[in-house]
Structures are given as C-alpha cells and as structure tokens.
Amino acid sequence: MLDHLCVNMLSSCPRCASSSGNRASRRYPMRINADFTRRAAVHFDQTDWVPSPAPGVERKMLDRIGAEVARATTIVRFAPGSAFSAHTHDGGEEYLVLDGVFQDELGDFPVGSYVRNPPTSSHTPATEPGATILVKLHQFDPADRTEVRRSINGKSDETLFSDSHEEVRLESWAAGAQVTRDLPGGIEVFVLEGGFQEGGETFSRWDWLRLPPGARLDLTAGAEGARVWVKSGHLAAMV
C-alpha cells in the first residue's frame, strides 16, 4: 500500500522526485531487520515516526527489504484528509487498523478491521478522519487470491486466515500465562492490548516481536494479560 502510494506521489511531487535521499534509496535498497534467521523486536514508544515521500504519511518500519517498492512490515500513520491514487497490489497487502478509519471504494474500515488484498487486487485508499495501520506488503503466496475483510472487535481468540503458507490469529493470554510453542515456520507477535515478557524484554501496546524458523516461543503474559495479533509459518520461505 504505502510503497505504491509513495511511488505514485513521487511522480507528482517535485520536492520528493528531486530529493537526493530518494535517489539514494532507489540505488541502495533499504534493509531493516532483514536477517530472518535472527530474532527481531521493535518497541513502538522507542521508535521515531519517519516521514514518507507521500505528504501526510509517517511510518515506523519494523522490517523491510527494498526502497519504495519493498517487502515490508510497517506501522503507518495517515493524516486526516489523506487521499491517494488507485494502485495494484503486485505482491499483496495485509493490514490491521489500529486507530481512526481507513477507507477505499469498498467502504470504511474502522479500528479492529483486518483486511487482506491479495496479489493483482487494486483499490483507491483514503482516510477522512486519519488512521494508523499495521501493514504488510509483498508477503503473500503469489497464487493467493483470497480477499478478507473482517473485524476483530469483541473477539479474543480466532483464526483470521489460514492456508499452506501461513496462519494469522488473534489470541488472548491471561495474566501471568506461560506461552510456549515450537516455531518451524517462525512467528510475528504484535501487541494490541496488555503485554508480555520475552527474552528479557517487556513488550506493550503496539510492540512487535519476530522469531525465526526453528526457534521456540517462551513468554509470560503481563499483569493485565495480553491481546495479540499473531502470524506464523510464513517465515520459512525467507531462510
């Protein structure tokens, strides 16, 4: 999504198109937490917002391989009144609305909306009130054509999507719960509410943890428990 938006905006924004920084990013692909054999963690409150080439759009990059067209996992904040050109999702787009309302020609997607736009799909995104989303780009099975639009509001444990490539779940862990599991295909855990401790680190709202294939998840839910978005199995193809 954002990468397509940025490419579209660059062609109509002289300041962005002429920026030496953007020229450099096209020559030297960006790599952030790009070693998928290693554990990675990003804490929301310890990470700065970075302006994107698209006006009114800021992001916190969790992992990334590529410049403005990239395999990427990102928290993106859109200013109120943002609107963008139509674009096609060559590698698929998956997002969860964390704040505000995200919109396109199919409707409004408020907080708690989980959306999968598979490869070859397209839309014209906008947000009148502003929105913050967790978005993953270019991470679909190329043959996947399944569209998903659902809400996680009022739910605690539910499979949001599952195929031979990956499983995406909403999970809730009671206060002090010990959560352990083997990870043949790796895992990503994104905190929606509450928190947990893992590897000597404390994770709270909007923090992100990634463990590689072959690792073992071993964590303890915090005093308030935890409600998390979990994606697993998909990292096997990256190592």
Of the residues 122, 151, 180, the one at which a domain ends: 151
Q: Do 147 and 162 belong together in one domain?
A: no
Question: How many domains does the chain contain in total?
Answer: 2
Q: Does residue 20 surpass a pLDDT of 60?
A: no
Q: Do 177 and 129 belong together in one domain?
A: no
Q: Does residue 17 surpass a pLDDT of 60?
A: no
Q: Do 60 and 96 belong together in one domain?
A: yes
Q: How far apart (Å, rounded) are the C-alpha atoms in residues 187 and 191?
A: 13
Using only C-alpha atoms, the chain has a radius of gyration, in whole angstroms, of: 17
22-54 confidence digits (pLDDT tens): 433 444 468 999 999 999 999 999 999 999 888
Nearest to 238 by CA among 71, 119, 122: 71
Residue 167's domain comprises 158-238
Query: What pLDDT score does 29 carry?
Result: 66
211-234 confidence digits (pLDDT tens): 999 999 999 999 999 999 999 999
Q: Do 170 and 142 belong together in one domain?
A: no
Q: Do 51 and 168 belong together in one domain?
A: no
Q: How far apart (Å, rounded) are the C-alpha atoms in residues 169 and 208?
A: 15
Q: Do 164 and 228 belong together in one domain?
A: yes
Q: Do 25 and 78 belong together in one domain?
A: yes
Q: What is the CATH number of the domain that holds 130?
A: 2.60.120.10
Query: Which amino acid appears at position 106 of this protein?
Result: L
Q: Which residue has the higher pLDDT, 19 or 107?
A: 107
Of the residues 151, 182, 201, the one at which a domain ends: 151
**Contact between 95 and 123 (Cβ < 8 Å):** no
Of the residues 89, 119, 151, the one at which a domain ends: 151
Token reading at 154: 């009022």
Query: What pLDDT score does 23 carry?
Result: 38
**Contact between 213 and 181 (Cβ < 8 Å):** no
Q: Do 170 and 110 belong together in one domain?
A: no
**Contact between 201 and 163 (Cβ < 8 Å):** no
Residue % of the chain over a pLDDT of 70: 87
Band of residue 173 on the pLDDT scale cut at 50, 70, 90:
very high
Q: Please list the alpha-helical segments (H only) found in the chain.
A: 2-10, 14-18, 20-27
